[in-house]
Amino acid sequence: MTRTIAALLVAALAVTACGRIRDSKINPFNWFGGSEEEVVQVVDGVPQDPRPVVQEVTGLEVARQPGGAIVTATGVPPTQGWWDAALVPDGDGSVKDGVLTYRFVVEAPLELRRTSTPQSREVTAAVYLSDIRLQGVSKIVVLGASNSRSTSR
């Protein structure tokens, strides 16, 4: 009986110690949290990339990888058939006040398409960022036409 109580006590202490690691900056799973939505006004077409930005950014995720991270964004254009999605650095691509900003651009369909459901119009784009590129970055923002999504560490 005493051994059982001692084992339970040791297990409880071990589990509570995991909570401190979970909130720690050394835990790679919490380097970037969930995304937050914000309403923005974006002007289409940048000299470096004339493609328009996606109508709405619906998801943003940062997945740690060896040597860096993969930023994946999901968006919904106004109709079906949009293609060639990409995350393009906004402006000169530099980190400003710890914020790295990307524009979610897509190519318009070659012919008029129906609207259908948002799920059938979803497009996804991703970009790999090295650990060197992530130095000094505390927030990643992805811009769409009607909103933006951001994730912070």
In a shared domain, residues 69 and 25: no
Give the model confidence (pLDDT) of 119-147 as tens digits. Answer: 999 999 999 999 999 999 999 999 999 99
At residue 22's C-alpha, the angle toward residues 21 and 24, to 5°, is 60
d(CA 53, CA 56): 9
Residues 6+ apart with CB under 8 A from 67: 130, 131
Number of domains in the chain: 2
Q: Are residues 144 and 69 in the same domain?
A: yes
2-59 pLDDT, tens digit each: 777 766 666 666 555 555 555 555 555 555 556 666 665 554 444 578 899 999 999 9
Residue with tokens 């289409």: 44
Domain check: are 88 and 120 in the same one? yes
Domain that holds residue 90: 31-152
Residues 35, 18, single domain; the answer is: no
Give the pair of three-digit tokens for residue 148. Answer: 């933006």
Task: Give the contacts of 14 (CB within 8 A, at least 6 positions apart).
Answer: none
Q: Are both 110 and 120 inside the same structural domain? A: yes
Rounded CA gap, 111 and 98, in Å? 41
The confidence score (pLDDT) of residue 40 equals: 55
How far from chain centre, in Å, is Cα 44?
20
Judgement on whether residues 24 and 67 belong to the same structural domain of the protein: no
Q: Within this chain, do residues 13 and 36 fall inside the same structural domain, yes or no?
A: no
pTM over 0.75: no
In contact, 85 and 123? CB cutoff 8 Å = yes
C-alpha–C-alpha distance, residues 116 and 32, integer Å? 33
